[in-house]
A and B are shown apart, each in its own frame.
Chain A
């Protein structure tokens, strides 16, 4: 798969100005004008052929069940993918039972290897505890499965590198790191907006995740307790920065098209004074090129203001909350034009301008011509991320089948080469093995900075995949 998706989406100011990105310009300016000028039927009038693919989910904790639920909603979204959840796996029986209620037709197993033996299952989603990602991911790639591996890829740079190198070698397979923001429609809408300088000079980024929760799973016995609560043990967990913060930190670098150069961290167990050694409250400052810093804060002790991400520029700031975003302009910023027509939101004394993906397209309508409101659960970053993964996986599966039909099954090298060419042409947005690896490097070092209270310089060679 693509080594660096940021390159594929490499917008810059020059592209924007020369009009190379007409669609982007139209989308940004356009919602109102295009909608007003056209009375044409929406593109949804064409229903493309559906691609079927069998997928398995390994790891059925809370996030694994969220993934199951999201996969289960895909048929309702009328997308060209029909994901059949063929198998689910967890070593903990109660999780397996709970997973079965979301995917009753799926085969249940406590051993992921039985899934890898099933030739009909083409794709595997790995949502196990981080320390076991490596074992399952490497085995799945070896078995010829397309792999979606949750972020962080691993708890150590070495393990993350091993996974990424295996994914790189398996160029005929789709490998996607679970950095779902990179597939989110709303954020993909914002990306050219930020990259083309609509915010002016980017000066600061900030993100928070506040939640009042113990992060502790109920355990029936002491043996299970340790396994279930692996997040609370620093030997097995990258803590809040690695399990949660990895997403907005990766997103900030993605938007700015760069990687952090240093990180300083702080963390402590402030509230949940049980036997955990993973901080329940963390802060970290990431330094990016151009003297831009990102401040990240997360706590399990307070839920006020929840979670959001901010990006500040000299002309405007952008606030992102879940799948929504607003822009707050400075009074001396240049008029872009389209914002006059945009939906506004009052926040204290500021006026936020709604930035909405797809605003330039007329909404789909029902038989009576009334706008159809999309199911909010089918517009989440996770939904888009899994959808893109399965489409990529299905496309490569088909390419491999075509190759075998044309040239037989003996030439494995030829198949990998030819299907690898198809993989390189895939344009759907996703985080590949390189992005997954680099995000893991940042997360591992940020966690180290938090645990030691030190500033760590992030050397460019650490991000290289060798």
Chain B
């Protein structure tokens, strides 16, 4: 009796594990590649009514399941897609820039790092929890439109955010990839990041609470380890 129970248990476990492996097999993983850009735009009250900081490096990966378009113009059905992902940006890689992208101020950078508590929380993190295909593009070079849900962590504080993202599958001669673009607005006080309200040499600066996050994230499709080993 006991033996039968153990065998039955093991079979059930193996079936579950196999199902899990099959699901994992169907997941496609994309990893970050160079060429991305994160831009944070805000407002202030002085000579520069708007300010912006940028990072050229967005790290991380996403894994997507069946139904996710991997090639431009691929026929897929709108709806929820199995997906997970982790994104990170080093706080110190954020640099203040003029509106045309030229470097702005080292001092401004220092203020940014201090307010984002860089010594304690070195990265801004995002964890993707839900991805739903909303619109299929009408042309091959247009992106697929998704609704996403995820947890954004800034300065150690996490909030769930919803954001529309555009995903364009990219196929070059060497490899498949993705270009993900999007933007969202967050309130810095929701992340317990104090509004910059200081006196600098150029005068009194007080920034607005809302900031806009705009990003272009480039990824490349990774081969499964087993497949890679087989080669």
Contact = CB atoms under 8 A, between A and B. Distances in A.
A binds B: yes
Interface of A: 23, 38, 40-43, 45-50, 80, 360-361, 398-399, 401-403, 405-407, 411, 414, 417-418, 421-422, 425, 427-428
B182 interface: no
B119 interface: yes
Given A48-B110, A48-B114, A49-B113, A406 B198 contact: no
B111 A407 contact: no
Interface of B: 31-34, 56-60, 88, 90, 92-93, 95, 103, 106-107, 110-111, 113-114, 118-119, 198-202, 204
In the A-B complex, the 4 residue pairs with the smallest Cβ-Cβ separation, listed nearest first, are A406-B59, A48-B110, A40-B199, A402-B90
A321 to B, nearest CB: 27
Contacts of B93: 398-399, 402
Contacts of B95: 425
B203 to A, nearest CB: 8
Contact of A418 (B31, B57, B200): B57
A411 B92 CA distance: 21
Contact of B111 (A48, A361, A403, A406): A48
A48 B92 CA distance: 12
Nearest to B199: A40
Contact of A407 (B34, B107, B201): B34
A402 B92 contact: yes
Given A45-B199, A421-B56, A428-B106, A405 B114 contact: no
B197 to A, nearest CB: 11
A360 B201 CA distance: 9
Contacts of B56: 418, 421-422
B32 A406 contact: yes
B60 A406 contact: yes
B56 to A, nearest CB: 7
A82 to B, nearest CB: 12
A50 B113 CA distance: 10
Contacts of B118: 49
Given A43-B199, A406-B58, A407-B32, A49 B107 contact: no
A125 to B, nearest CB: 22
Contacts of A418: 34, 56-57
Contact of A427 (B33, B34, B106, B119): B106
A392 B199 CA distance: 26
A407 B110 contact: no
A392 B231 CA distance: 42
A355 B92 CA distance: 35
B103 to A, nearest CB: 5
27 contacts: A40-B199, A42-B199, A43-B198, A43-B201, A45-B199, A47-B114, A49-B119, A50-B119, A80-B110, A360-B201, A401-B90, A402-B90, A402-B92, A402-B93, A403-B34, A403-B57, A405-B88, A406-B57, A406-B88, A407-B34, A411-B34, A417-B34, A418-B34, A418-B57, A421-B56, A425-B103, A427-B103
B178 to A, nearest CB: 15
B201 A48 contact: no
B32 A46 contact: no
A405 B55 CA distance: 14
Contacts of A414: 34
Contacts of B34: 403, 407, 411, 414, 417-418
B136 to A, nearest CB: 30
A45 B198 contact: yes
A169 to B, nearest CB: 19
Contact of B204 (A40, A46, A48, A361): A40
A38 B203 CA distance: 9
B200 A43 contact: yes
Contacts of A405: 59, 88, 90
Contacts of B119: 49-50
Given A49-B110, A49-B114, 20 more contacts: A23-B202, A40-B199, A43-B200, A43-B201, A46-B114, A46-B198, A47-B114, A48-B113, A360-B201, A361-B201, A398-B92, A398-B93, A402-B93, A406-B32, A406-B57, A406-B59, A414-B34, A417-B34, A418-B34, A427-B103
B27 to A, nearest CB: 20
B61 to A, nearest CB: 10
Contacts of A428: 106
Contacts of B103: 425, 427
B227 to A, nearest CB: 18
B107 A43 contact: yes
Nearest to A395: B92
Given A40-B199, A418-B34, A402 B106 contact: no
Contacts of A398: 90, 92-93
A407 B113 contact: no
- Which of A40, A45, A80, A406 has the largest number of chain B CB atoms within 10 A? A406
A12 B90 CA distance: 37
Determine which residue in B95, B106, B111 has the highest number of CB atoms from chain A within 10 A of its CB, and name it: B106
Nearest to A424: B103
Contacts of A411: 34
